[in-house]
Structure 1
Amino acid sequence: MKILQVLQRFFHNTNVKKQLNFIYVSALLIPVLIIGIFLIVNTRRLLLNHYQEQVEADNTRVKSVMFDVTTTVYNISDEIFADKNLQTLLATRYSTRQEAAKSCSNFTKLSNYIYKNTFISSIELYTTNPTIFEYASFKPVTKDILSTPWYQEASKRADILWKSLNSVDSWNNTSQELCLIRRIPIIHTKEYAILVIRISNIYLKNRIQNNSLFTAITVNKDPVFYGSERNLSGNNLNLPIDYEQPLYQFSGQLTYENKERIANISTLHPYTSKDKIYISTLDFHALDDTANIIMVCSTIILIATIVPLVIITLFTNQFSSRIITLRGEMYKASKGNYNIIDSIPGDDELSQVFSDLKVMIQSITQMNAQMYEAKIQEQVLKNQQQKMEYKMLSSQINPHFLYNTLETIRMKSLTEGNRDVANAIKLLGKSMHYVLENTGTSSTTLKKELDYISTYLAIQKLRFNDRVNYTLTVPEDMDLEEYQILPLLLQPIVENAILHGLDETEYNGQICINVKTKDDELLLINIFDNGLGMTEEELNSLTDSIQTPRKTNASNIGLHNINQRIKLFYGDAYGVEIKSQPKEGTLVSLTLPLHNIMED
């Protein structure tokens, strides 16, 4: 109670300036400094812990990736090790080089592993069989290979060996790759072969490098085979790693390149191997970023103590004038005059009240403007709705009018006894109905598409008589209603076959359409004509134009559009292929996926 009485006497007997200075020191300066120092110390600790946890988490992630890759590569080496066909191949003595090459080419297991596993850069199998020459992954053991330390070590060990070996790409760039090395005994000849499986650094980069952290991976004391910085590959890592420990682990700060870094180093034992893979993760920017954040926080605290002092000093001089100004502007707003001043000096309750006044005035003006815009938008929507209704009505009227007109003409032809004309009109109507029905759609059934092509060919048969004959072959057990296809995909190809392939054919022209499936995955549609065919130069020109169409040739543009539609809709694995021989005809093959099955 005495303290309160002292404070009351102080405020009653002291001028405003001293009161405000006392309030500033006791209520603002001292608390801000205490809280600021506490926050700075605690923030620095939290930031360092956060960066350390981030480095440890990323190191664990990289370690998981390396464990996954090395274990998978080991399993692959086990399969190769136990392969009986490989044993037979390596034990056989071949009489000719061609016989050895043929045997190697027939053994596709190694190439299949490379093709199916992106993490494998290459597979090399070194053999002492004198009748086997270098072919694909098979390599003879030369004097240079015999002298290499890794070959000598692998030939003496029965277990798995992991090494960092040099690799030279097609541009003669040298780098290091992590390699599994394993001796494969040849039972029948009591010899052995050395298997080397190289892990792709590109694959490791795609799996590992997804942030700004520094990462380096080594095996035993070998040079770095993967580093987030290109210049690390092939160099020894200058980090204080104790290679004698069975499972070395470090987490904390260390000196690297003469600067303190936050780091985490862990050890990975590959599956069934005595070798050790060291994964080093460092954050080059953590300590600098922490220092910058602490500097910013200190600056903010300093500003927070200076700015209030300036405001308190200005407050007493401006208080009265600000009250008068605020009252005058509120009076203008109450009379409907919203053209008030932008602001009043200061940053306290009075300025907040003035800001609320401005917000209220802005809300009123915005509401008026929104009501006006809403009326305009309502009218625009009504106009758009009327246009859409008109277009929908037009799209309904035009096809019906067209079909009714064609049907009238057909009935008149039947009345006149001209069945050929009536049949032609019927086919034309059916064809146009399919085209209009599928304009703008992305799929139709295979049956509808083939029915449309049959109709189109029937019309061409009426035009050209014996010059155009056609057959459509479909497997008996294939239900065409179950499969989907892009609409209007086959007609341009058939039209090209008639206009260009059978251009000079006077009789017995044939268009053969064959539909079949392959491996329950692909739908193959072959369209063949027995026309003039094309020379190799013409075929190459046509194939190029399908990829890049020429504006002067409409047929090429049509084939290009078909090819692009297929690739855009299904993917680059599908498309159009053309084969042709002069005077023998032309075959256009469409490869489509079979998995697009309609659901009931």
Structure 2
Amino acid sequence: MLNHYQNQISADNLRVKSILFEVTTSVYNISDELFMDRDLQKLLATRYNSKQEADKSCSNYTKLKNYINRNTYISSIKIYTNNPTIYKYDSIIQYASIIPVTKEIEKNEWYQQAINSADITWKSLSSLDYWNHISQELSLIRRIPIISTKEYAVLKITISNNYLKNRVQNTSLFNTVSVNRDPVFFSTQRNLSGEYLTIPIDYEKSQYQYSGELYYENKKSMASISTLLPYASKDRIYISTLDFNAFPDVNNIIILCAAIMLLASALPFFLIKHFTNNFSTRIITLREEMHKVSKGNYHILDNIRGEDELSEVYSDLKVMIQNIQKMDAQMYEAKIQEQDLKNQQQKMEFKMLASQINPHFLYNTLETIRMKALAAGNKEVANVIKLLGKSMHYVLENTGTSSTTLKKELDYISIYLTIQKLRFSDRVNYTLNVAENINLEECQILPLLLQPIVENAILHGLEGTENNGQIVINVTTKDDELLLIDIFDNGLGMTKEELESLNNSIHVYEKKSTSSIGLYNINKRIKLFYGEAYGMEIKSTPFEGTLVSLTLPLLNMMEE
């Protein structure tokens, strides 16, 4: 594994070295072209009569701009000249400049070295970027002799660190690059740029190479260090590649292997322990399950592992439990049948009681009274008797039934409210609103479900109201699944405590409370017939009124 990591690091070091060789060679070729360029010689040798003439000549020289446009690895190209008639000229392409030499520039070591030597040199120099950030970059420095004036210009081509970052920084390895003993001009850790290299390198060797372990900043790593000799230069570029994860990864593998070996040793021990304890564990399980059965808990394990006498005993236990449960079920069915008989008996008693009242006798008697009222000219009394007859007919017709049409139920409520308005005059007024999408003839509902709520609204809600009492009934649907019936009165309303007490009473039966027994029965009927998802909700505000909302399933098929 260590050899694998070492080979991987060496390969990456070679990759970085190849990138730098490619870039430095390309920069050298550009410098060679500028060195031999006659147009540049003419530009730098000419003495101009004005700044405008010099700027025009510099503007017409576009090679610097073209080099930067075509080569992304170039950060800047600057030519420093002693021509006194050339003022500083900056191309519209940033960092392509022809710059007159100042005393500050002459003081720079790299400039003096270039003027006094014909060698091509590479330097790690700090520079300001467009945003005034200081960065360390690799620059080629070369003297260009102006033959006609016997002067010298200095060419400085700077390599872009962003380009190197995009080409080099594509792995998790740590890379630094420096030239000679200059500060680091490129590092995968940005904070090292501009700092002097602390990695131990023998600078006396012409081509220093190293592969192996290396301690850097008190961290043990695998390293590969190599030297690049740029083309036509005596300088040396040192590429250092380190991997701080190599030794931790190897250690983790060693730990994993040790854990596997430990597991391989421990596994036989646990297997022996498992098989020796298996029998006693099954005995304990059987005893615990039998204890549960003795306490009346018949939910025991499906089976005990194994195919011996213990498993047969456990099978017999399960058969015994099934027989006990069968006997319990038979007893429960007997109780249900007994209760059904009681219910049948109660229904028969109710029918016998109801049959004692002959409906025809009642209708005929009411019709006789109505005809006498008409004969006496009292149409109002005749109308009331007619409405009362219809009301009684609906009640007797639906006694013992479990469903009726929504139209019949609403017609009955209209009759009931008409009779109440005749009793109380302007104290009771009502409005019935039905959504257009509801077919009253097909929609079914429990009979006699709404009358107790309306009666409660008149007796309690409108109590104390002298005139303009309103009862509004709204019938709507929701999502084609629910039937919503809202019954509102504009009466006294209820306080928060009264409302809370009423809401409790419709869910819990109280023998002492007679005022809410009707609402309790309605809510109970809905939940028993339709399910717990449906029921009644009451909202009320003092001196504003009370709203009773029923939520029922929207049933469109009548029972036969």
TM-score using structure 1 length: 0.46
TM-score where L is the length of structure 2: 0.49
